[in-house]
Amino acid sequence: MNNTIENIARVCHEANRAWCIANGDHTQKEWHFADQWQRDSAIAGVYFAIDNPDAPDSAQHDAWMADKVKDGWVYGAVKDATAKTHPCIVSFDQLPEHQQAKDKLFRAVVKSLA
Return the pLDDT at 64: 96
pLDDT digit string (tens) for the chain, length 114 residues: 678 999 999 999 999 999 999 999 998 999 999 999 999 999 999 999 999 999 998 999 999 999 999 999 999 999 999 999 999 999 999 999 999 999 999 999 999 999
- Give the per-residue pLDDT at 57: 86
pLDDT recorded at residue 3? 84
- Nearest CA to 63 out of 33, 88, 83, 84 is that of 88
Instruction: State how many domains the chain has.
Output: 1
Tell me what pLDDT residue 2 has.
Answer: 77
- 23 within 8 A of 49, measured Cβ to Cβ: no
Q: pLDDT at position 59, please?
A: 95
The Cα-based distances of 77 to 68, 69, 86, 87, 89 in angstroms read 15, 15, 7, 5, 10
Q: What is the pLDDT of residue 1?
A: 62
The whole-angstrom separation of Cα 112 and Cα 85 is 31
Residue-number span of the structural domain to which 37 is assigned: 3-113
